[in-house]
Chain A
Amino acid sequence: MSIGLQHVGIRFRAGVEALRDVTLEIGRGEFVAVVGPSGCGKSTLLSAIANLLDPADCEVVGGILVDGAAPGTKSRRELNLGYVFQRDALLPWQTIEQNVQLGLVIRGVEPGVRRERSRAMLDMAGLTGFERYYPHQVSGGMRQRAALMRTLAYDPQVILMDEPFGALDAQNRMLLQSELLRIWQASPRTILFVTHDLAEAIVLAQRVVVLSRRPGAVKAVYDIALPYPRDAFALRGSAEFGRLETTIWQALRDEFRATLPDAVVA
C-alpha cells in the first residue's frame, strides 16, 4: 500500500499551525524516515494519516490518501494500518501474550490460530518465556519489542512509527533497529518512521525527509543509497554513512538552531 500526501496543512484550533504544504509520495513497500526538530509536527502528520486527529481540535487541508483512500472513507480493518507509539501503549492489565494477540482478537481470529501466531511473534522477538508477564514486569526494550510484535501480528501493510525507540537506551535502540531492519528486509511493507535521531533515520530508511521547524514543511528529501541488507552496527562506521550524516545534518542544523540558544548547536 502507498501513502500520498498532497499539500497537507494542519492547524490546531488553539492557533498553532503544525504543518504547512507537505507533499510526499511513499511507494508500496518503501521505508521512509521523517526527521525534524521537536514540535515540527512529525507526530501530528502520522496521526493525520491514521485518522486519529479529533476534527474538533484541528483543521486538515490538502489531500491524504492511504492506498488511494482518504481518511475515514474505509474501515480501519480494511485499511489494515499499523501504528507503533513512542511509549509502548501496551494494555497494562493484559499479559505480553494477550497484548500481542490484541489485533487478532479484534479481527475475530480464532484462539488456536491466535496463539500460534503470537507464539511465533514472541519467538521472533526473543520474548519466549515472558508470555504471562505483565508489561510492568519486563524492561522497556522488551515492552517496545512486544508493541512492535503486536503490530506485526495482524500483518498490516502500512506501518506508522512515531519515535518508537526514542525512550530506549542506546544499546536497546540499536538492537531494535536491527530487528526492524531484519523484519522489513524479510517482508517489505510500507513504513513511515518518525524520529529525531538522524543516525537512526539513515540506518533504517531508503529515503530521509527533513522537515523544517514549525510549521513543518518538507525542507529536503535524501535518497539513502546504502545497500540492503544493512547492519545497524557496522553501518555507523562506514564512510558513506558519515558523508550522508554530514550532508543531512547541514539541512537539519538550521532547523534545530532556531529552536535552541545559539551556543548549543555548533
Chain B
Amino acid sequence: MNRTWSLALRRAALIAAIFALWELVTGGFGLDLVLTSPAILARPSSAIAELGPYAASGQLGRDLSTTLIEAMVGLVLGILGGAALGLTLGYWRRASELIEPVLVSLNSLPRIAVAPILLPWLGLGIASKIALSFFTVFFVVFFNTYLGVRSVEPELVKAVQVMGGDRMHLARFVVLPSVFTWIFAALRTSVSFALTGAVVGEFVGASAGLGYRLNIAAGLLDTKRVYLILLILMVFAVTLVEIAKRVEARLLRWRPSAVLAG
C-alpha cells in the first residue's frame, strides 16, 4: 500500500479511537460507564444527534453563514490593509521609524481584549465581529509584509538594476513577488486568526453566529449543544485552513516546500 494512504488510514483510526474512548467514558455503547457528569462532558453520539434539531430550526445555516461572512470579510480586509501599510512603511523608512512604537504597542495588546469596546462603536451586528477579525489578521499580515519588503534579496535587486531595470521593474520582478511570498506564508495563520476574531466577537455580544450560539448553550448548561458547536467549529476551521494550504501551495509552487507539499 502507498505510504500516504497508509498514514491517512492510521490517522483516521486514531481519531475514531479517541471518539470511541470518549463515547465509552460518557456511558456509551450500552455499558453505562459514566466517569463524569453529563453536564461536564457530553456523549459524542448525543452531541451529534443535536445536529438534527439545530439544523431544522434554521439556526445552523444562519449561524454558519454569519460566522463565515464575518471571518472572511475580516480576513480579506485584514490582508489588504496589512499589506498596504506594510508596503508603505517598508519603503518609507522615516514614517516607519515614527510609527513603530504605536504599532508595537497595539500589537502587544491581546487582540481579544478590544472586543468589548467594539460593541458600543459598531453595534451587535456583524460589523463589530468583522472589526475584531480584521484587527487580529491585520497585524500578522502587516509585520510579514514589512519584513518582506525589508528582506528582499539585494543580489536580485542588483541583477535587475544592472540589466537596466527601473523602479517599476524592481517592484514587478523583485519586491512584489518577494512580499507576496511572505503574505501567503502567513495565510494559514491569518485564516485561523480571522475565525478566532469572529467567534470571540460573537461571545461578547451578537444576535447570530456559532460563537453566539455557543455562548448561549453554555449559559443554559446545554452541554450537548456546546460540544456540537465545538465540533462544528473544528470541522469549519480545518476546512478553511486546508483551503488556505492549497491556495498557498498553488501560488508558491516555485518554492521547494510547495513542490513537496503538492
Count residues on chain B whose CB falls below 8 Å from chain A CBs: 21
Pick from B103-111, B201-209, B252-260 the stretch touching chain A: B252-260
Q: Are the C-beta atoms of B254 and A103 separated by less than 8 Å? A: no
Q: Are the C-beta atoms of A106 and B158 separated by less than 8 Å? A: no
B165 at the interface (CB under 8 A from A): yes
Contact indicator per residue, chain B 142-179, by CB within 8 Å of chain A (1) or not (0): 00000000000101101111111100010001100100
Give the residue name and chain of the B residue nearest to A80 (CB): B164
Task: State whether A76 and B162 are in contact (beta carbons under 8 Å apart), knowing that A87-B155, A91-B156, A106-B169 are contacts in the complex.
Answer: yes
Which A positions have Cβ atoms within 8 angstroms of B? Answer: 50, 52, 75-77, 80-83, 85, 87, 89, 91-94, 102-103, 106-107, 134-137, 154
Q: Are the C-beta atoms of A50 and B259 separated by less than 8 Å? A: no
Give the residue name and chain of the A residue nearest to B180 (CB): A93
Q: Are the C-beta atoms of A52 and B158 separated by less than 8 Å? A: yes
Give the residue name and chain of the B residue nearest to A52 (CB): B158
17 contacts between A and B (CB under 8 A): A52-B161, A52-B162, A76-B161, A83-B158, A85-B155, A85-B158, A89-B153, A89-B159, A91-B177, A92-B255, A93-B181, A94-B254, A103-B163, A106-B164, A134-B254, A135-B254, A154-B163
Minimum Cβ distance to chain A for residue B152 (Å):
11
Cβ–Cβ < 8 Å partners of B165 in chain A: 76, 106
Minimum Cβ distance to chain B for residue A130 (Å):
14
Most chain A C-beta atoms within 10 Å of own C-beta, residue among B158, B162, B256 = B162
Cβ–Cβ < 8 Å partners of B169 in chain A: 106
| One of B162, B174, B254, B256 near A83 (C-beta < 8 A) | B162
Minimum Cβ distance to chain A for residue B145 (Å):
16
Task: State whether A76 and B174 are in contact (beta carbons under 8 Å apart), knowing that A89-B159, A91-B156 are contacts in the complex.
Answer: no
Cβ–Cβ < 8 Å partners of B156 in chain A: 89, 91
Q: Are the C-beta atoms of B164 and A76 separated by less than 8 Å? A: yes
Cβ–Cβ < 8 Å partners of A154 in chain B: 163
| One of A93, A94, A102 near B163 (C-beta < 8 A) | A102
Cβ–Cβ < 8 Å partners of B162 in chain A: 50, 52, 76, 81-83
Given contacts A106-B160, A136-B256, 6 further A-B pairs with CB under 8 A are A76-B163, A87-B155, A91-B173, A93-B181, A102-B173, A135-B254
Q: Are the C-beta atoms of A93 and B160 separated by less than 8 Å? A: no
Minimum Cβ distance to chain A for residue B107 (Å):
29
When chains A and B are docked, how far (Å) is the Cα of A80 from the Cα of B165?
11
Q: Are the C-beta atoms of B174 and A136 separated by less than 8 Å? A: no
Minimum Cβ distance to chain B for residue A164 (Å):
12
When chains A and B are docked, how far (Å) is the Cα of A138 from the Cα of B183?
26
Give the residue name and chain of the A residue nearest to B155 (CB): A89
Most chain A C-beta atoms within 10 Å of own C-beta, residue among B169, B253, B254 = B254
Q: Are the C-beta atoms of B164 and A107 separated by less than 8 Å? A: yes
5 residue pairs, one from A and one from B, having the closest CB atoms: A77-B164, A76-B164, A134-B254, A83-B162, A89-B159
Minimum Cβ distance to chain B for residue A155 (Å):
12
Cβ–Cβ < 8 Å partners of B174 in chain A: 91
| One of B159, B177, B256 near A93 (C-beta < 8 A) | B177
Cβ–Cβ < 8 Å partners of A92 in chain B: 254-255
Most chain B C-beta atoms within 10 Å of own C-beta, residue among A85, A93, A94 = A93
When chains A and B are docked, how far (Å) is the Cα of A154 from the Cα of B153?
23
Cβ–Cβ < 8 Å partners of A75 in chain B: 164
When chains A and B are docked, how far (Å) is the Cα of A196 from the Cα of B256?
31
When chains A and B are docked, how far (Å) is the Cα of A52 from the Cα of B163?
12
Q: Are the C-beta atoms of A103 and B155 separated by less than 8 Å? A: no
Q: Are the C-beta atoms of B155 and A137 separated by less than 8 Å? A: no
Cβ–Cβ < 8 Å partners of A76 in chain B: 161-165
Q: Are the C-beta atoms of A89 and B164 separated by less than 8 Å? A: no
